[in-house]
Structure 1
Amino acid sequence: MLKKSLMGAIVFLFLAPAAMAEEGFPDVGDDFWAYENIQYLKQEGIISGYSDGTFRPNAEVKRSQVAKMLAEGLDLELENRPNPGFSDVDEDFTGYEYIAATADEGIFGGKKDGRFAPNDAMTRGQMAAVLHRAFDLPERTAADIAIADMDPGDTFYDAVEAIAKAKITTVASGETFRPYEEMTRSQFTAFLSRSVAPERFIEEEESPADEYQTYYNEQYGYTVTFPATWGDGEYFPNDPDERGKYLYDKESGMIRVYAVPHTSDEFFPPDVEIKTIELQDGKEAQYYTAQKEGIAEFSMVLTHDGLVYNISGEVHPDFFAENEEDILNVMKSLQTESDNTEEEEAKLAADSVLSTLNAKDEERFASYVHPNKGVRFSPYAYVDTTNDLQFSASEMEDLWSDSTEYVWGQYDGSGFPIELTFEEYYDEFIYDRDYIFADETSINERLGEGNTIDNSQDVYNDAVIVEYHFTHSGNFMDWSSLRLAMEEDSGSWYVVGIIHDEWTI
């Protein structure tokens, strides 16, 4: 197989016929995120568009279209190629010569059933494979790149790692690549232009100071680092440098960061999947991403020291697809100034534990369980050190899916045993209410006014106990609380006790 070098492709491009059109496509404006990539490939004769003159940048890119673009970009000889023998592509098929040439060079293969599937959409993984076969990709970094949603040995893993090292894709180690997601025509032009003209579309490594810029907000004492290529947006109107600013503000959308006093818990729309992200300074925040018609939106919220910090945006879906890793890294870069006391640090850790309970994230929750003491569960305020069940961190990882009915104590009033699976116990005696939005919180102070003895401070005498409390609404018996007993070990805070409290008879 002829594996075309990048330099050979570049020589071809600069010797291309002068008749290649200079004008752009009517449906690709100069403010479109991939305008330069598309315009470059058009001028060099690698892409041509549809018969009506449009490019249709957001349409899916088909396998036959990719074969044509690669054959043009690599200047492959089209004559006298052997018939590849695909059952659904005969010699009368439009684009046959491109499919035959790329198949003969080993760039493209067919399906297991003998088809080429020319009208099937190209996936990101398939794109990585054909670029890897077609070009001698230089390794601009020697570091291994771990793809979060792929394992070594997966069909496209080596190809994705190769194009990542060559900066054809911007996926970073530990991030997802989404190999089975279908690509648009504009997305493929971005990858192809970086392959054939890296000196134009791939910037050489620069110092971090040149690649990124940092915004510091003196009013609320936070910093965030973002790509220098995003520009330097304006401060919020009539609010210079007090709350925040726009990190990106162009035709393809906007991205903002700001901080405000914590006055509401309604952070996210009701119909989105909320995820947890760990920031570089160890704090945990919540975020979501959502694709809507013609727009991608995202929002990250960190609540800390009575403030709400938000990084959010609404951008074109193509911009989001190309910059998703950068957007996540911007979220992770948020740093807040703090002179926290020991109690405040315990509260921050307790908030993180609560977020794992809210999300039913068993693996993340287990990471907060004390490595030596485990965690004890008490269905009522009185901690029974003899009968309350206690589990280690490793046991907690399996407990969520365990169908065993454990005896967790006795129901107050009836005295009947509390025989429940962990999931059932979770629903009744841990997260029976959405405590992440509790009315009040306290540190080492009981807010619930029940008649059950609270001995938590005696049992957990080395712990900081954080309480999340819902007050009663007219009926003094309908209040409830969740208490997390937090202990420090080797500089980290862990949960050693989870205590449920409510009015009892």
Structure 2
Amino acid sequence: MNLTKRIQVALLAVLLLCFFPTSNIEAAVYSDVPSTHWSAKEVYYLSELGVLKGGSNGKFNKDAPVTRAQAAAILVRAKKLPLTNVPNPGFKDVPASHPFYKEIAAAVNAGWFSKAANFNPNGQLKRVEMAKITKEAFSLSGSVPVEWEDMTRAYWGSPYVSPLVANGITSGYTATKYNPSGVVTRAQFAVFTARALNKKFRMSVVSYPKKAAEGIFYPQFKDTNGVQNFDSLNNYYVETGKELVNIRKEIMDLAREDDWMGKYYEYDVSYKVARADVNYVSVVFEDFQYTGGAHGYGQLFSDNYDVKNDHFMSLDDLALKSNYKRAVIDRINAQAYALRNISWDGLESLDDHQYQFYMTNTGFVMYFNPYEYGSYAEGIREFTLPYSLIR
């Protein structure tokens, strides 16, 4: 091959590399955000758009608190706000030499952040602040009649949190608490921003608490896409809330009749939403009651709801394999016997435990309350099992 031919081949190779990138040319990869991390899809989606930037050490620093300055920069990039000729917001602690001066100025000029003497650029962003700036930046509307345990409707942040819940962007820190003063991590803010920017990342079904009485809450559900109707399930939990209130009232009535131990009587109940999507909703309640004697009694009870068919499910309803019972019994016994520090009488049948389970996104959990197959001291036993065991 002569020199001219060689030069032509080399130029062709360069052109091919330019127009057809090889598999070795990849988007940013953060060593602390593996593909299995719960925020990975959102983090890499925003990174590819240039909205997120990692540190010089090759890490995203996912668990670090996001600062107010960083949050402003992320939202400004997400909304592609212009950074030229933006009025100076006049913050004493954000000089023109600040690395995020332009982004902060743009965010304030857009009305996402309030004007004040100081911006506190290095301050850690709180959950309620996240709600405000996200709602304002993406002009989110809608609401749900949520009643948080730690945030009243009169609280200044409530009008900002409710639209985010209604749109599937955020949920409670727990089932009943929003934790408005909680610090937002970089991974969390990435997820919130991705959900606000692109609907495909949003929660399809959201849950929010309602208050039945002081200290007693129940869940409500909404399909953020308006496809599934949750009226019957929501009405069921309204009645459940009333029943829980009545149980506490009955126990307190008994307390007034017990002159000696009545002052110690109590009833506490809480819940968690283990799964909520367009296919299934799974809610687990845990209550504790003391009505005299050596000790109180705590237990779990749960509901597993088939959304599309509008009915509550037993294990038989969930299972597709005809021989699932033997497989579940053997797996539970194996797990129990492996824990040599507990007493276990041996599970022989699932017939009396058809509703003693709850569902997660990755599997289901069977539980046994005190005195079931063991002593009271063993407490509640839970066994995590894969769906492949029954379906």
The TM-score range, normalised by the shorter chain, is 0.5 to 0.7
Matched residue type, 2:129: Q
- Structure 2 residue 131 is the aligned partner of structure 1 residue 128: yes
- Give the structure-1-normalised TM-score: 0.42
Aligned 8 A contact 1:145 1:165 in 2: no
The structure carrying a bigger helix percent of its residues is 2
Aligned 8 A contact 1:82 1:104 in 2: yes
User: Partners in 1 of 2:131 and 2:33 — Cα distance?
Assistant: 25
Aligned 8 A contact 2:31 2:58 in 1: yes
Matched residue type, 1:49: G
- Structure 2 residue 45 is the aligned partner of structure 1 residue 36: no
- Structure 2 residue 70 is the aligned partner of structure 1 residue 65: yes
Q: Which residue of 2 aligns with 1:257?
A: 366
Q: Which residue of 2 aligns with 1:266?
A: 377
Q: Which residue of 2 aligns with 1:86?
A: 91
Aligned 8 A contact 2:127 2:179 in 1: yes
User: Partners in 2 of 1:235 and 1:44 — Cα distance?
Assistant: 46
Matched residue type, 1:102: A
Aligned 8 A contact 1:148 1:174 in 2: no
Aligned 8 A contact 2:171 2:178 in 1: no
CA change 1:32–1:226 in 2 (3 A) is farther
CA change 1:249–1:264 in 2 (3 A) is farther
Of 222, 225, 230 in structure 1, the residue corresponding to residue 304 of structure 2 is 225
SS of 1:225 mapped into structure 2: strand
SS of 1:26 mapped into structure 2: coil
CA change 1:211–1:249 in 2 (3 A) is closer
User: Partners in 2 of 1:206 and 1:72 — Cα distance?
Assistant: 32
Aligned 8 A contact 2:150 2:179 in 1: yes
Aligned 8 A contact 2:43 2:191 in 1: yes
Counterparts of 1:31-430 in structure 2, within 5 Å, are 31-110=36-115, 114-139=117-142, 143-171=144-172, 175-203=176-204, 204-207=225-228, 210-212=278-280, 224-225=303-304, 235=328, 238-239=331-332, 242=350, 247-248=359-360, 256-259=365-368, 262=371, 263-266=374-377, 301=380, 310=381
SS of 2:366 mapped into structure 1: strand
SS of 1:266 mapped into structure 2: helix
Aligned 8 A contact 1:107 1:134 in 2: yes
Task: Give a deviation string over 1:52-79, Cα, whole Å, max 9, x none.
Answer: 2210111111111101100000100101
Matched residue type, 1:225: N
User: Partners in 2 of 1:63 and 1:24 — Cα distance?
Assistant: 25
Larger of the two Rg values belongs to structure: 1
Runs of 4+ in 1 over 6 A off after TM superposition: 231-234, 243-246
Aligned 8 A contact 1:88 1:115 in 2: yes
Matched residue type, 1:156: G
Matched residue type, 2:161: V
User: Partners in 2 of 1:237 and 1:190 — Cα distance?
Assistant: 39
User: Partners in 1 of 2:174 and 2:188 — Cα distance?
Assistant: 21
User: Partners in 2 of 1:258 and 1:45 — Cα distance?
Assistant: 46
User: Partners in 2 of 1:147 and 1:109 — Cα distance?
Assistant: 25
CA change 1:94–1:172 in 2 (3 A) is closer
Matched residue type, 1:63: R
CA change 1:40–1:226 in 2 (3 A) is farther
User: Partners in 1 of 2:79 and 2:156 — Cα distance?
Assistant: 24
User: Partners in 1 of 2:35 and 2:306 — Cα distance?
Assistant: 21
CA change 1:117–1:37 in 2 (3 A) is same
User: Partners in 2 of 1:227 and 1:179 — Cα distance?
Assistant: 32
SS of 1:47 mapped into structure 2: coil
User: Partners in 2 of 1:81 and 1:256 — Cα distance?
Assistant: 55
When the two structures are aligned, how many residues end up with a matched partner? 242
Aligned 8 A contact 1:63 1:117 in 2: yes
CA change 1:259–1:39 in 2 (3 A) is same
Q: Percent identity?
A: 24
Unmatched segments (≥5 aa) in structure 2: 1-20, 205-224, 231-276, 284-300, 308-317, 334-348, 385-391
SS of 1:50 mapped into structure 2: coil
CA change 1:237–1:104 in 2 (3 A) is farther
User: Partners in 2 of 1:151 and 1:246 — Cα distance?
Assistant: 30
Unmatched segments (≥5 aa) in structure 1: 1-18, 216-221, 269-300, 302-309, 314-505
SS of 2:376 mapped into structure 1: coil
Task: Give a deviation string over 1:411-452, Cα, whole Å, max 9, x none.
Answer: xxxxxxxxxxxxxxxxxxxxxxxxxxxxxxxxxxxxxxxxxx
SS of 1:182 mapped into structure 2: coil
Task: Give a deviation string over 1:97-141, Cα, whole Å, max 9, x none.
Answer: 101110111111255xx21111111000000010121112143xx
User: Partners in 1 of 2:48 and 2:306 — Cα distance?
Assistant: 29
Q: Which residue of 2 aligns with 1:288?
A: none
Aligned 8 A contact 1:235 1:245 in 2: no
Matched residue type, 2:80: D
Matched residue type, 1:184: T
Q: Which residue of 2 aligns with 1:470?
A: none
Aligned 8 A contact 1:129 1:159 in 2: yes
TM-aligned CA deviation for residue 311 of structure 1: 5.4
Matched residue type, 1:120: G
Q: Which residue of 2 aligns with 1:348?
A: none
Aligned 8 A contact 1:123 1:182 in 2: yes
- Mean CA deviation greater in 69-78 or 232-241: 232-241
